[in-house]
A and B are shown apart, each in its own frame.
Chain A
Amino acid sequence: MFVTPDFAELKKAIAAADAFDVQQALAAERIGIKGLAALLSPAAKPYMGVMAEKSAQITGRRFGRAVQLYAPLYLSSFCSNRCVYCGFSADNQIERRVLTLAEAEHEATILHDRGFNHLLLVSGEAPAKMGVAYLEELALRLRDRFAAISIEVQPLRGEEYARLFAAGITAVAVYQETYDRDVYRQVHLSGKKSDYDHRLATPALVAAAGMREVGIGALLGLSDWRAEGLAIGLHLAWLRKHFWRTALTVSFPRMRPAMGEFTPPLPVSEREMTQLIFALRIFDPDVGLLLSTREEARYRDGMLGLGPTRYSAGSCTVPGGYGNRDVTGEQFSVGDHRNIDEVSEVIRQKGFDPVRKDWDPIFQMHGRRPQSAALVI
């Protein structure tokens, strides 16, 4: 099982890096954990230009001049956890709702009509309000129309992931939020999520259940971002070794204002997050890197091609918000309000291809023939 080293040790390893270590990491064909620590360290600050170039080069070689587009679909804002940083925290007095299957399907149809083929289903963690049966049924209803469907919901059991995979879900994101045990305890006041080890073990359960892709990440602003970066690197390397068939992604949610008036204890600047993205890209050339609409348009445009490979667009973080602009109770407010066409246009202007389809429902048609294959004689 993956175990995070003591956070203080991670910080120490990073603090020990000097300019020579950084230069060595930047000159190497491949870097290991020590190289990652160097690139995350303050000693790497003067090398941001070189890191950008290297990160862009690696990204281009592996992913080409393409950026994949996806949209989140919020299903439920009910949550049984009390997490001090989250708009959906059980303590917050917000209007809560869970979409009926018909409503969820309607929202998905709107996104499909807007041109989305990759869908991320998101919900608060309240299994009684929205459990596996709901997700399974929704996936079965949607899978013919979407190239790929992923989920970001409460941690499930291995057999539940296998069930959802069979229903057409291809990927699962489970963010640790923070790899710092002490901070984790402080910010997760109650609910299932307060169990650090259970959450940390979940990505491996996902991979073992046969999912194609697992997403991990830390909520930036809760603890030392450099050490979080090193922990993410260790987690990635561990997952690769144990689940060689599973593709991995990392997301970089940086804290934005939300209901609940939480001020991030260690806010992360744009420049710092950028260093984190470059360092992880250089460390792992194959990992998918997601940059969501939490970030502003200016930043997202600037980062095109430099490391991230997937962008969300036109996101709404409240259940039912695509069909009805008046519903309230968002998880966080977005920084980039442009729709998919506007984002696509900028991607094109920057010399990249906005890719709306890079998977196919056929992959998930386990044990049954696709409708179109009825033509086969």
Chain B
Amino acid sequence: MLIIAGRSFRSRLFGGTGKFSSPAVMKEALDASGCEMVTVALRRVDLADPADDIMSVLDRERYLFLPNTSGARDAGEAVRLAHLARASGGGEWLKLEVTPDPRTLLPDPIETLKATEILVKEGFHVLPYMNADPILALRLQDVGAAAVMPLGSPIGTNQGVLTKAMIEIIIDQAQVPVVVDAGLGAPSHAALAMEMGADAVLVNTAIAVAGDPVRMARAFAMAVEAGRAAYESGLGMVSKDAAASSPEDGLGFLR
């Protein structure tokens, strides 16, 4: 079972709340996805308001809300948003996003590391969104990140796991859970990340803007399960030549 910051999760699919056509569709899709962790943008919701359109439809018993700092341009802003989350009942969990470029929304490694260090000291469970940089993943782990969230490809692009080679290294080296976040556009992308040994994936755009978000959520849930099962079962080595049944040419000398 997946454990992050002492809490266990049955589902290895994390959901998002952005870009849906309505809070009702969002709720149905998240319910269908089976996910237990849902990220919400602090800029978008009012955590303290029970009537908030997003917060009011989601069951707080069923989902762990992971407030995110979407929109923060530097560590200072991210820290302020984190304080707001905690003050309005958001708890200690935080998806740290520091994205100074409003165009690509790529994470700033320097500010992300700074903010992680500060927030961990303040008692937050920090899950930083990061570029797929193995050394950065280790640095974030060293300052106490509860998990690392490397991107598969630029957010919202549906391009899949373009950072495969780097994510493989991150998975290989990390002691904290690795959650592949951003860019997963199809269930097959999610399955690939899971087969590679990612501990979980976070999918939002691909579900929210699908023709049928509810079915797509289910499709991702199945893909994540399939990918994880394949990883745990031990995938065969990839080889261009045929394996066991090859003739033993050149081995005729063996007795």
Query: Which residues does A use to contact B, with CB under 8 Å?
Result: 60-66, 147, 212-213, 240, 244-247, 286, 348, 351-353, 355, 357-360, 362-363, 365, 369-370, 372-376
Distance, CA A247 to CA B158, complexed state (A): 22
**A residues near B73, Cβ cutoff 8 Å:** 212, 245
A358 touches B44 (CB 8 A): yes
Distance, CA A185 to CA B19, complexed state (A): 43
Q: How many A-B residue pairs have CB under 8 A?
A: 90
Distance, CA A302 to CA B157, complexed state (A): 26
**Nearest A-chain residue to B213, judged by Cβ:** A65
Distance, CA A348 to CA B71, complexed state (A): 25
Q: Is B205 engaged at the interface, CB distance under 8 Å to the other chain?
A: yes
**B residues near A357, Cβ cutoff 8 Å:** 43-46
A64 interface neighbour in B18, B101, B103, B158, Cβ under 8 Å:
B18
B71 interface neighbour in A353, A363, A374, Cβ under 8 Å:
A363
**Nearest Cβ in chain B — how far from A100, in angstroms?**
30
B20 touches A286 (CB 8 A): no
For the complex of A and B, the 8 pairs showing the least CB-CB separation, nearest first, are A64-B19, A247-B102, A65-B21, A375-B87, A286-B103, A373-B87, A360-B43, A362-B84
Q: Is B23 engaged at the interface, CB distance under 8 Å to the other chain?
A: yes
**Nearest Cβ in chain A — how far from B180, in angstroms?**
19
A370 touches B19 (CB 8 A): no
CB pairs A–B below 8 angstroms (19 shown): A66-B18, A66-B20, A212-B73, A212-B102, A213-B102, A244-B100, A245-B73, A245-B101, A286-B102, A351-B21, A352-B21, A353-B23, A357-B46, A363-B80, A370-B80, A372-B48, A372-B84, A374-B87, A375-B87
Q: Given known contacts A147-B43, A358-B44, is B19 in contact with A66 (CB within 8 Å)?
A: yes
A373 touches B84 (CB 8 A): yes
- Digitize B14-46: 1 where CB-to-A-CB distance is under 8 Å, 0 elsewhere: 000011111100000000000000000011111
**Nearest Cβ in chain B — how far from A263, in angstroms?**
39
**B residues near A375, Cβ cutoff 8 Å:** 87
A348 interface neighbour in B22, B48, B72, Cβ under 8 Å:
B22
A372 interface neighbour in B18, B21, B88, B209, Cβ under 8 Å:
B88
Distance, CA A355 to CA B46, complexed state (A): 13
A64 touches B44 (CB 8 A): no
A353 touches B103 (CB 8 A): no
Distance, CA A376 to CA B71, complexed state (A): 22
Other A-B contacts than A348-B22, A360-B84, 12 sampled, CB-CB below 8 A, are: A64-B19, A147-B43, A244-B101, A245-B101, A245-B102, A286-B102, A360-B43, A363-B80, A363-B81, A370-B87, A375-B87, A376-B86
**Nearest B-chain residue to A355, judged by Cβ:** B44
**B residues near A355, Cβ cutoff 8 Å:** 44
**A residues near B156, Cβ cutoff 8 Å:** 61-62
Distance, CA A65 to CA B23, complexed state (A): 11
A63 touches B19 (CB 8 A): yes
Distance, CA A268 to CA B137, complexed state (A): 53
Band of interface residues on B: 20 to 34
Q: Is B217 engaged at the interface, CB distance under 8 Å to the other chain?
A: no
A60 touches B209 (CB 8 A): yes
Q: Is B198 engaged at the interface, CB distance under 8 Å to the other chain?
A: no
Distance, CA A61 to CA B19, complexed state (A): 9
B208 interface neighbour in A64, A240, A286, A348, Cβ under 8 Å:
A64
**Nearest B-chain residue to A64, judged by Cβ:** B19
Distance, CA A357 to CA B84, complexed state (A): 16
**Nearest Cβ in chain A — how far from B57, in angstroms?**
12
B100 touches A64 (CB 8 A): no
- Digitize B63-90: 1 where CB-to-A-CB distance is under 8 Å, 0 elsewhere: 0000000011100010011011011100
Q: Given known contacts A244-B103, A363-B43, A363-B77, is B20 in contact with A369 (CB within 8 Å)?
A: no
**Nearest A-chain residue to B99, judged by Cβ:** A245
**Nearest A-chain residue to B22, judged by Cβ:** A353
**Nearest Cβ in chain A — how far from B53, in angstroms?**
8
B83 touches A61 (CB 8 A): no
B19 touches A360 (CB 8 A): no
Distance, CA A60 to CA B205, complexed state (A): 9
Distance, CA A362 to CA B71, complexed state (A): 11
B71 touches A359 (CB 8 A): yes
Distance, CA A358 to CA B43, complexed state (A): 5
**A residues near B80, Cβ cutoff 8 Å:** 362-363, 365, 370, 373
**Nearest B-chain residue to A358, judged by Cβ:** B44
Distance, CA A352 to CA B26, complexed state (A): 12
Distance, CA A64 to CA B71, complexed state (A): 16
Distance, CA A351 to CA B211, complexed state (A): 11
